[in-house]
């Protein structure tokens, strides 16, 4: 039920519409090739618009669902300092979701439609948020690895071809880079602590490493959207390129604090100047995408409950804004 189906049924493949004017299409492609931003009122191919709505709304859902694994630890943070940091971080993720929903709305998608697609299981969100946070060290691992992977993927998106998405990414990346550092700092503190704390940090790295590599999406030769998205400069780099960069940056960070990356095949390759790494379990990735993640049901139940419990707030805000507008008109 809570699936993010990859089977292809009901899938709207981006394909140029026969009705599209070749001159408009050529002008659009020239602007993209020239690295100009496409803005909401500009003409764009329908498949470009659909691809963006898909990617931006999935991204927004990931930010919102992504509040849950860490939100789970706010009441159990070990100090007031850590609690304040975690509260601020989780709130930032909520803010990212809101910018992203707004960016998708500029393409004609309604907020209700997007939320309904998430709650019904039609829309995807990142696989990473279907894993449980078992110990306090997981909060460090999420900041360090999950935010770290998110930044690696999102820095190039500051130059994505759709203006509102690119501009949202500028602020998101600034905040994500703080998140990454707080996660690494938390993990460093555990590694410099007792034996048991260091063991917890290692255990968290063991559990979050491979799912973090999966965040970048399927390998390039199995990624149906990459080629067209690169052509339209929606994506600026491929899934495999970004994944490799993440491994190259993160392995030395683990070594610096005395943690071992859980991959026996990991080896620096002098010839190409990158780390070689072991095989990713793509069966696990596709199973999580299908909705079989360890805590997928709990995640979606929590979102649906939050949406239903928050109905009165949305109603009150709407009623208040209608009243204010009416009072303004009456006063004019
Ligand atoms: N999970 O052809 P591709 C965060 C889907 S934000 C689930 O390669 P594409 C912040 C994909 O949608 C994390 N589904 O697709 C935070 C596609 O679906 P389709 C989210 C996945 O779009 C931190 C199908 O597989 N970031 O963490 C995943 O070209 C801490 C085929 O794949 C973004 O969304 C996955 N991991 O490339 C919050 C960034 N990977 O066509 C709280 C923006 C792929 O069946 C705490 N998105 N799929 O509908 C992107 O850059 C791209 O959409 C990719 C996928 C790279 C994720």
Task: Answer whether 38's CB lies under 8 Å from 32's CB.
Answer: yes
Give CA 172 to chain center in angstroms. Answer: 11
Ligand 1 centroid–CA 97 distance in Å is: 14
Nearest to 179 by CA among 149, 208, 214, 207: 149
Instruction: From the CA of 215, give the closest atom in ligand 1.
Output: 36
CA angle 171, 236, 163 (to 5 degrees): 45
Report the pLDDT value the prediction gives residue 16, as an integer from 0 to 100. Answer: 53
Task: Evaluate if residue 2 carries a pLDDT over 60.
Answer: no
Task: Answer whether 89's CB lies under 8 Å from 143's CB.
Answer: yes
Ligand 1 centroid–CA 265 distance in Å is: 26
Ligand 1 centroid–CA 156 distance in Å is: 14
In the structure, what pLDDT confidence band is assigned to residue 17 with cuts at 50, 70 and 90?
low
Look at the alpha carbons of 59, 60, 65, 66 in this order and tell me if their dihedral is positive or negative: positive
What letter does residue 233 receive in the DSSP assignment? T
Ligand 1 atom 19 nearest Cα: 6
Report the pLDDT value the prediction gives residue 19, as an integer from 0 to 100. Answer: 76
Task: Evaluate if residue 65 carries a pLDDT over 90.
Answer: yes
User: Residues in the chain, how many?
Assistant: 332
Task: Answer whether 217's CB lies under 8 Å from 128's CB.
Answer: no
Task: Evaluate if residue 20 carries a pLDDT over 80.
Answer: yes
Task: Name all residues whose Cβ lies below 6 A of ligand 1.
Answer: 4, 6, 11, 54-55, 58-59, 62-63, 66, 93, 124, 126-127, 142, 146-147, 150, 153, 214-218, 223-226, 229, 235, 239, 289
CA angle 286, 208, 131 (to 5 degrees): 55
Ligand 1 atom 41 nearest Cα: 225
What tens digit of pLDDT does each residue of 166-203 get? 999 999 999 999 999 999 999 999 999 999 999 999 99
Instruction: From the CA of 67, give the closest atom in ligand 1.
Output: 42
Ligand 1 atom 50 nearest Cα: 55
Mean pLDDT, the chain, rounded, equals 94
CA distance 285 to 288: 5
274-276 vs 267-269, strand pairing mode:
antiparallel
Report the pLDDT value the prediction gives residue 3, as an integer from 0 to 100. Answer: 34
Report the pLDDT value the prediction gives residue 315, as an integer from 0 to 100. Answer: 96
Ligand 1 centroid–CA 101 distance in Å is: 15
3-state percent helix, strand, coil for the chain, nearest multiple of 5: 65, 0, 30
What letter does residue 285 receive in the DSSP assignment? H
Strands (E), 26-142: none
CA angle 54, 58, 62 (to 5 degrees): 175
Report the pLDDT value the prediction gives residue 10, as an integer from 0 to 100. Answer: 44
């Amino acid at each position: 039920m809570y699936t993010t189906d990859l089977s292809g049924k009901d899938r709207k493949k981006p394909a140029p519409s026969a009705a599209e004017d070749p001159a408009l299409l050529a002008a659009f492609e020239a602007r993209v090739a020239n690295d100009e931003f496409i803005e909401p009122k500009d003409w764009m191919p329908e498949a470009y618009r659909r691809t963006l709505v898909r990617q931006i709304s999935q991204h927004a859902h990931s930010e919102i669902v992504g509040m849950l694994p860490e939100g789970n630890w706010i009441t159990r943070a070990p100090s007031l300092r850590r609690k304040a940091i975690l509260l601020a971080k989780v709130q930032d993720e909520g803010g990212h979701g809101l910018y992203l929903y707004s960016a998708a709305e500029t393409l004609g998608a309604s907020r209700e439609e997007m939320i309904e697609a998430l709650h019904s299981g039609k829309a995807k969100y990142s696989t990473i948020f279907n894993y449980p946070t078992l110990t306090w060290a997981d909060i460090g691992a999420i900041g360090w690895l999950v935010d770290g992977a998110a930044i690696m993927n999102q820095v190039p998106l500051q130059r994505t071809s759709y203006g509102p998405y690119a501009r949202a990414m500028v602020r998101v990346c600034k905040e994500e880079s703080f998140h990454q550092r707080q996660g690494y700092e938390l993990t460093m503190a555990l590694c410099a602590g007792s034996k048991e704390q260091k063991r917890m940090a290692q255990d968290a790295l063991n559990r979050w490493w491979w799912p973090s590599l999966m965040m970048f999406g399927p390998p390039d030769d199995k990624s149906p959207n990459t080629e067209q998205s690169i052509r339209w400069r929606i994506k600026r780099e491929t899934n495999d390129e970004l994944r490799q960069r993440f491994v190259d940056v993160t392995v030395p960070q683990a070594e610096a604090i005395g943690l071992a990356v859980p991959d026996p095949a990991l080896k620096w390759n002098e010839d190409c100047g990158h780390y070689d790494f072991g095989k990713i379990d793509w069966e696990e990735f596709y199973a999580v995408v299908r909705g079989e993640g360890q805590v997928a049901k709990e995640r979606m139940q929590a979102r649906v409950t939050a949406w239903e419990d928050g109905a009165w707030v949305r109603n009150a805000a709407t009623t208040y804004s209608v009243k204010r507008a009416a009072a303004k008109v009456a006063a004019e």
